[in-house]
Amino acid sequence: MLRLLKNPLPKEDFEQMRRLAVKLLAQRADELTAAWEEKNNITEDHYERLSEGHFRSKG
């Protein structure tokens, strides 16, 4: 870690690392969301009912 502070990565390498980190975090978030939906029996129909009943979607 200290080496990176003394000799920072080239900008292209840093950008690639940033993109990969975001990709991995998004993948993990998708996995956790899918597991939560499965555990709680949440379906697309459930989300559809929620959107139809939302106060901003009325009128």
Whether residue 23 is contained in a domain is answered as no
What local confidence, expressed as pLDDT, does residue 59 receive? 54
Does residue 54 form part of some domain? yes
Task: Express each pLDDT in 1-22 by its tens digit.
Answer: 456 566 678 889 888 988 999 9
Number of domains in the chain: 1
Residue 41 lies in a domain: yes
| pLDDT score at 38 | 95
Residue 50, domain member (yes or no): yes
Q: What is the pLDDT of residues 38-47, one digit of tens each?
A: 999 999 999 8
Give the 3-state secondary structure of residue 38. helix
Cβ–Cβ < 8 Å for 42, 36:
yes
Give me the domain span that covers residue 48.
30-59
In a domain, 20, yes or no: no
The verdict on residue 21 lying in a domain is no
Chain mean pLDDT for the chain: 85
The tens digit of pLDDT for each residue in 21-38 reads: 999 999 999 999 999 999
Is the pTM of the predicted complex or chain greater than 0.75? no
Instruction: Give the Cα separation of 19 and 40 in Å (integer).
Output: 31
